[in-house]
Amino acid sequence: MDAKPASHYPYSSSFVPWYQGSRAEVLLSTPAPHHRALIVDSSPEVNRLLSNLFDPEEWSFRFASDNTEALQLAQAEPFDLIITGVRTTGLEDVELLRRLRLVRPHTRIIILTDEFTPGDVIASIRERAFSYFSRPFSTEKLAEFIHIAVSEPCWDDGIEILSVAPNWIRLSVRCDVLTANRLLQFFREASQLPDAETEEVATAFREILLNAMEHGGKFDPSQYVEVGYVRTKRAVICRVKDPGKGFSQDELKHAAVSNPPEDPFRHVAERESRGLRPGGFGILMAKQLVDELLFNEQGNEAILVKYLDHPLTAPKS
């Protein structure tokens, strides 16, 4: 099975192929009470991949032959996590999730699929799937999301759809890093951009989103950031609005974007004097990855614009 390289995920450390050595390394270890997973049958290679993601001392798991059996098993007993099979479409897996919600309203489901449309990703967000992966995908990234799925409380109210159209979606996103990372995984699956443009926009978007969550929302999980994503034939546009009071450009002496060319690290001393953590490169990085980065007058709303060399086709529903 092919897998996206580690560089596809800028906040991952390294990529470990599932086929490395005589047996895949166990990638997932969660220091928590014993967990139970239900895995819907896929090809032998994918089954082996998924099996090797779980530490047998901390996880027990069983396979279901298809979505029908998975629903029956999950109705009979609770599972901490359900992972769907790649042989079903995202839409079929969303229907499984919808039916399971009637009896297990907080079940965490990660959708794996071979067949993909952006509409399925949107439907999975609406029905509160934990995450969505279409092949090829990174083994390490999947292991990371499995860990998050069983370690983060109150996960299923973190991303809310405010409105959706084929080329325009608005979301409300809870102010915490794990929710931001979940949103970025959905974005990567739904963007329909070439890989290079996907990563440029995703990385810039993440920097601005985390800035909004940290400085505008204070990483307060009761606060939400409003996010928009617009596609045109020649550009993609991301909008981020935080609940804070905003800032002025004169207040950015602690950020690298304010450094003069002859002193590219001047902001470091400013951050130290304020007792701030190391960093301050987010806005500068975002400016280099997209074509335009604009802030409103108040400073609590940003727009990122990425122009495309080739026009986008009409989105699939």
Contact indicator for 127, 156 with CB cutoff of 8 Å: no
Q: Which of the 8 DSSP states describes residue 291?
A: S
Q: Which of the 8 DSSP states describes residue 249?
A: G
Separation CA 78–CA 104 (nearest Å): 8
pLDDT per residue as tens digits for the range 161-170: 999 988 999 9
Q: Where are the domains of the chain?
A: 1-154, 158-317
Judging by DSSP bridges, how do beta strands 168-174 and 159-165 pair with one another?
A: antiparallel
pLDDT per residue as tens digits for the range 153-188: 655 679 999 999 889 999 999 999 999 999 999 999
CATH class of 158-317: alpha beta
Report residue 274 as tokens: 């304020």
1-154 CATH choice from 3.40.50.11540, 2.60.40.10, 3.30.1490.20, 3.40.50.2300: 3.40.50.2300
What is the band of 25 on the pLDDT scale with cuts at 50, 70, 90? very low
Question: Is the preceding peptide bond at 136 cis, omega within 30 degrees of 0?
Answer: yes
Does the pLDDT at position 136 exceed 90? no
Does the pLDDT at position 279 exceed 60? no
pLDDT per residue as tens digits for the range 57-110: 888 989 999 999 999 999 999 999 999 999 999 999 999 999 998 998 888 999
